[in-house]
Structure 1
């Protein structure tokens, strides 16, 4: 189980450090309907991560069983392909960086956050967590690592729980912090939002590059 946790933690961090959902959560916390919308967003974010990693864990469990000490070429090929996909996303993010002095462009749907309801916040977060290509690749990598580790149902559940807690933490912390101390959180949230907007593409490019290389390395090591 420890090996599976070690394999999935970098992938969980990849989801956790995604700037776009963090920016969306912060904008919701600064909106007129902050409490309801942000709680709906957090629930959708957690559920989306759970669904994605569980689905890929179950699918990877269908791979032919192998001797624990033997090579696992199928799992290795899958990890290499996932790693290459992340490298392509990293290149795309790097090229999307704003030029010096240029304002970073954000998704158009963010302009509608002020009028969002809790239900729409839930749907938006679920889509960002479970349908977004980057998160899908990271969740797929985690699912393959868990599903091919030969774990019991109980151990796999523990690994998935740890993965979800880490992956959801970057959205959960500001939302819970705001619910506990709204007035104190406004200043730090504004500053964090501005920094993430400026550095969104660079952060994601570096992160995806590192995780992609790690996945490719693990895939090669499976042969």
Structure 2
């Protein structure tokens, strides 16, 4: 179990940091809506990551004898290439202004709406999917025991939700007095989120590429 958890830690941290644009949304929810709305979004985000990773692990487990090592190496190469491409795309769009359509009306979101958006973004966001697939491959390689796989997937989800969940915790602990700190954090994240995401994706992408190519050679 320990080995499987260790394998997913870098991907979980990557999910947490690469989710910088989602942290901006979490900050907006924390300062503009009741606490339960922010909690619902964070819960949906974590649940989305866990569900996506669980599906990939279950599909991989259906392969008799597990996926061949060559297949997992190719997956790493493809995931690394995809992350590098997403990093370049994010970097080029760092100066783009405007609010994404899925953030529209955030000041009026209900807990149900926040949960649904968090779930969808956590499970279907392209950056998440690439990292989740790579992490799930590492889990399947590490262990074939369902309980250990489930524990590793849960750790992946919790780590991936650190950034999105932080504003919720700060607001819960600090109450309205924390609004100024959250507003400052929101302004900084809005200015730097895209560039930060690009750098993190590039680093993880290069590491996956090198790892996959090394295993194939």
Paired with 1:192 and 1:151, the residues of 2 have a C-alpha distance of 41
User: Where does residue 26 of structure 1 map in the other structure?
Assistant: 27
Map of 1:35 onto structure 2: 35
Contact kept? 1:60, 1:148, Cα under 8 Å:
no
Q: Which string of whole-angstrom CA distances, capped at 9 and with x for unpartnered residues, describes residues 23-51 of structure 1? A: 111101111x3223112212211211110
Shift of 1:57: 1.3
Gaps of 5+ in 2: none
Distance 1:167 1:149 in 2: 20
Matched, 1:75 2:75: no
Structure with bigger helix share is: 2
Q: For 2:161, what is the secondary structure of its paired residue?
A: helix
Q: 2 CA distance for matches of 1:193 and 1:131?
A: 24
- Correspondence for 1:89: 86
Deviations 1:40-68 (A, max 9, x none): 2122112111101111111222345379x
Residue 171 of structure 1 corresponds to: 164
Contact 1:29 1:38 in 2 (8 A): yes
Give the equivalent residue in structure 2 for 1:138. 131
User: CA 1:113–1:97 in structure 2 vs 1: closer, same or farther (change >3 Å)?
Assistant: same
Q: Is the 8 A contact 1:58 1:147 kept in 2?
A: no
1: distance between equivalents of 2:199 and 2:74? Answer: 23
Which of the residues 115, 121, 130 maps onto 2:114? 121
1:65 maps to: 65
2:45 corresponds to: 45
Query: TM-score scaled by structure 2?
Result: 0.91
| Structure 1 residues 102-150: Cα deviation after superposition (integer angstroms, max 9, x where no partner) | x743313324100111111011111110011111111111111112223
Kindly state the Cα deviation for residue 212 of structure 1 after the two structures are TM-superposed: 0.6
Deviations 1:126-182 (A, max 9, x none): 111001111111111111111222342222222122212211111222212312321
Is this contact kept in 2: 1:93–1:205, CA < 8 A? yes
- Is contact 2:20–2:163 with CA below 8 Å preserved after alignment? no
Distance 1:63 1:178 in 2: 45
